[in-house]
Amino acid sequence: MTNREPESPAKLEPLMEEICARENLQQALQRVMANKGSPGIDGMTVECLPAFLRQHWPTIREQLLSATYKPQPVKRVGIPKPDGGTRNLGVPTALDRFIQQAILQVLQRRWDPTFSEHSFGFRPGRSAHQAVAQAQKYVAEGFCWVVDIDLEKFFDRVNHDLLMGRAAKRLSDKRVLKLIRAFLNAGVMEDGLVSPTEEGTPQGGPLSPLLSNLLLDDLDCELQRRGLCFVRYADDCNIYVRSERAGQRVMQSITRFLLTRLKLTVNGSKSAVARPWARKFLGFSFTNSPTPRRAIAPTALARFKERVREHTRRNRGVSLEKRIADLTPYLHGWRAYFGFSQLPSVLRNLDSWLRRRLRSVVWQQWRHSQRRFAELRARNVSRDLAAQTAGSPHGPWRLSLSPALCIALPNRVFHSLGLPQLWVRPPA
């Protein structure tokens, strides 16, 4: 009796068939359409994707099932980072985003339940707010030193062989492994030239966050094995300890672990062992008090004011209504995230600062003393006060706090024009 040939990995685990299942593909298409995004190197928008798939999907499906599909290079796009420098994004074509999304949905269901409870980034049902709240809990429990680790250009430096080795331990369908490797090696187009990608997982594709969590799961396991208290959100990792000496020890050993085991470098200039209230984590910090409260990091506040100033430059020849309409989406998004702060006075002060900024812009637009006088009088400002303010030698910013402008442009005017409030009084 002859021995039977072992079954192929594809037969042992027909994962590619699960990826190409109709329901999974419909869900992937809906997600890619909802996320929108700019076209890749082929110029095809996501709006054109459904029609393209109706015509070409049978051929693409056959290529996926036979492991002959070849992704196209990603388009290199540089965006400024909040703290300076540039973050390189790799924008895949709409078709490659669709296929990556289909892979992500299947792999995430399998892998995510195995990841650490201390990992919060790019995971279903987990958020940055949960990560910040967990960090706050550690500080409240007396872990009043933080080992703040910043990985240098993490997404650009991921080692492909290490990553694929970890994926191979979890997947037996070699077609899927080959496809993931093909996405990693697809190359980058910049200024019309395609460069090979020998390391890194390009930010911009749906699959990259899951792959980054897969690699950094090794770090999570090592920290858990040591019994350390930590919070990780993507490549932002904070470890909480009770003394500076313990923090320095952890920093040295984890830096060594990351370099030797994962071939990742810790950015020494951005990493530190410090008090939690002296560092920021995901845009937040904590107060130095027996019961630490969540505070907005100073750098986040500075970025907010810079963004508002861009929209309220006095030389922009647009109406107050237009300025508020332009600002509103940003303010809504900012409030949804930073409203998690536990210092309402900071939000109230920002509301006042924003209205003052708008008043100074309006005053500048009125320009001449005759018009300023007329506008103030039309807004129920007394003749004497209107004349005194219109003739004042002081600049718009100082006069934005004057009684005349507060009467002429009270808070309710901005509310009526749709200006969102950053702080809303909680119901009694």
- 307-324 pLDDT, tens per residue? 999 888 876 678 899 999
Residue 13 has pLDDT above 90, yes or no: no
The reported pLDDT for the residue numbered 3 is 44
Other CB atoms within 10 A of residue 71 CB: 20
Torsion on CA atoms 130, 133, 135, 140, rounded to nearest 10 = -160
d(CA 70, CA 322): 46
Residue 195 has pLDDT above 90, yes or no: no
The reported pLDDT for the residue numbered 11 is 46
Instruction: Average the pLDDT over each of 6-10, 53-57, 73-77, 252-256 and give the range with the smallest value.
Output: 6-10
Supply 88's token pair: 């390189």
Supply 420's token pair: 């969102």
| Mean model confidence pLDDT for the chain | 92
Q: What is the Cα Rg of the chain in Å?
A: 27
The reported pLDDT for the residue numbered 187 is 86
The reported pLDDT for the residue numbered 331 is 97
- 392-421 pLDDT, tens per residue? 999 999 999 999 999 999 999 999 999 999
Instruction: Average the pLDDT over each of 3-7, 347-351, 366-370 and give the range with the smallest value.
Output: 3-7
- 175-187 pLDDT, tens per residue? 999 999 999 999 8
**Strand intervals (E) in 236-291:** 236-241, 272-274, 284-286
At CA 95, angle to CA 93 and CA 97, rounded to 5?
70
Let me know: does 92 contact 71? Beta carbons within 8 Å. Answer: yes
Whether the CA torsion 35, 38, 40, 45 is positive or negative: it is positive
pLDDT band at residue 82 using 50, 70 and 90 as cut-offs: low
Q: Are strands 294-296 and 284-286 parallel, antiparallel or unpaired?
A: antiparallel
Supply 171's token pair: 């997947």
Residue 83 has pLDDT above 80, yes or no: no
Let me know: does 103 contact 179? Beta carbons within 8 Å. Answer: yes
The reported pLDDT for the residue numbered 280 is 96
Averaged over 138-163, what is the pLDDT?
94
Between 101 and 204, the higher pLDDT residue: 101
- 113-137 pLDDT, tens per residue? 999 999 999 999 999 999 999 999 9
Between 85 and 114, the higher pLDDT residue: 114
Between 199 and 371, the higher pLDDT residue: 371
pLDDT band at residue 427 using 50, 70 and 90 as cut-offs: low
Residue 10 has pLDDT above 60, yes or no: no
pLDDT band at residue 369 using 50, 70 and 90 as cut-offs: very high
Q: Where are the alpha helices (DSSP H) in 273-343?
A: 298-311, 320-338
Residue 79 has pLDDT above 80, yes or no: no
Closest CA to 90 of 171, 233, 208: 208
Closest CA to 48 of 1, 104, 95, 115: 95
**Cα dist. 326→83, 217, 310, 420 in Å?**
24, 41, 11, 12
**Most confident by average pLDDT, 57-71, 73-87, 183-197:** 57-71
Q: Are strands 74-80 and 188-190 parallel, antiparallel or unpaired?
A: parallel
DSSP letters, 55-74, are HHHHHHHHHHHTT---PPPE
Report the half-sphere exposure of 277 (CA within 13 A, side-chain side). 13
Averaged over 237-258, what is the pLDDT?
97
The reported pLDDT for the residue numbered 421 is 94
Supply 386's token pair: 């209107």
The reported pLDDT for the residue numbered 6 is 41
The reported pLDDT for the residue numbered 9 is 42
